[in-house]
Structure formats: C-alpha cells, structure tokens
Amino acid sequence: MCTVLNNEQWRMVVEAKGIATGILKSAAENITTAGTSFDTLIPKYLSIRPTPERKSAYAGFFLKTAATIDALKRDNFNYDSIGLDEKKEPYLASVYAEDMTHKMTLTKFYFQSLKMTGYDSRWGTLIHEATHWKDVKRTEDWDYGKSSQKLCTAKSLNNADNWERMLENYASSL
C-alpha cells in the first residue's frame, strides 16, 4: 500500500516544495513591512489583532517551516495508493507530529486532485503537514476548509488549515 514516490511524483513534489518555500520566505519578509496584506489576512484567518510582536513571531514560524520543507528529501516521502484513513475516509497527506525524521505520506488524492494554485494546493498541503511536526508548530486539525475560519482564536492559531489557507490567499495576491 505504501511505496516510495515514482519519478513523476517526485518531480511534482519538488515543484510544490519550491513554491512552498518561496511563498513562506516572501510571506516572512512581507508580514513585517508597513502596509502588509497580512494586516487584513491575520484577523480574517486567525481571528486575532495583527500586532508587531505577533507578526514578528509569525515571520519566524514561516522561515522555520520553509527550512523544514526545503530539507525534505525524496526518501522523506511515502506514497499511499489507496488514500483512505482508518475510518475509510479519503485523505490527501499525513504526518506523525512526534516523528523527528519528518516522514510525510502523500496519497493518490494529493497527486490526482490537487492543483498548484488556489485553496488546497499541492504546495499549501506541504505547508499544512509540516506545521504538524512538533519541532515546527505542532498544529492540530480542529477543522478544515472554509469552516476553519469560524474556530475560536486559540484553535485558529493552532489549526493547520488556517495557516495553509492564509498563505494560499497571500500567494494569490502576488
């Protein structure tokens, strides 16, 4: 069921890794500049006021996530050709938060259904998964998609999809 990535899958992951790290580095630089679009993105996606201290902390988090994704090699990834979790629900990708070897499983749905732009992008999904690792941010999956914007502030800040969607929105404005 789980195998290594084939050459075509690895090519797609390399492309997604490159976009993810580029967006994260751009966001880290942009978020601390005057008139940044994050002044509206932070309240929208994290339900919190964008103070200078928070923006500086998020810039550090973006750079940490970029470095973590940049360091992922081909053998960090597994391919799940079935793509169903223990409840038989389809899933895109998964990691184990405690896994300090940073293994990431990508399923057939990751490669078949995701695009490179918009919400639920291939690069955004890599960011989502990387934030789960405990040495990055140890985010949870309290909710997914648009409904994740209705979470309370504490959960928003610790919900992987809120960060993914905020960065996907940021990227769409570049």
Question: Where along the sequence are the contacts to Zn ion (CB under 5 A)?
Answer: 141, 160
Residue 30 or 92: the one with the smaller Cβ distance to Zn ion is 92
The minimum distance between CB 95 and Zn ion, in angstroms, equals 8
Exposure string of 23-35, with b = 16+ CB inside 10 Å and e = fewer, is bbbbbbebbeeee
The minimum distance between CB 140 and Zn ion, in angstroms, equals 8
Residue 19 or 95: the one with the smaller Cβ distance to Zn ion is 95
Fill in the DSSP letter of residue 106. E
Name 90's Cβ contacts closer than 8 Å, sequence gap at least 6.
83, 84, 107, 109
Look up residue 7 and give its two tokens: 């050459």
Q: Which of 8, 3, 14 is nearest to 80 (CA)?
A: 3
The minimum distance between CB 107 and Zn ion, in angstroms, equals 13
Q: Please provide the DSSP assignment of 89-101 as one string.
A: -B-SEE--TT-TT
The minimum distance between CB 147 and Zn ion, in angstroms, equals 14
Q: By Cβ distance, which residue is nearest to Zn ion?
A: 141
Residue 30 or 105: the one with the smaller Cβ distance to Zn ion is 105
Q: In the chain, which ranges are E strands? A: 2-3, 77-80, 93-94, 104-107
Residue 30 or 95: the one with the smaller Cβ distance to Zn ion is 95
Residue 66 or 126: the one with the smaller Cβ distance to Zn ion is 126
The minimum distance between CB 14 and Zn ion, in angstroms, equals 22
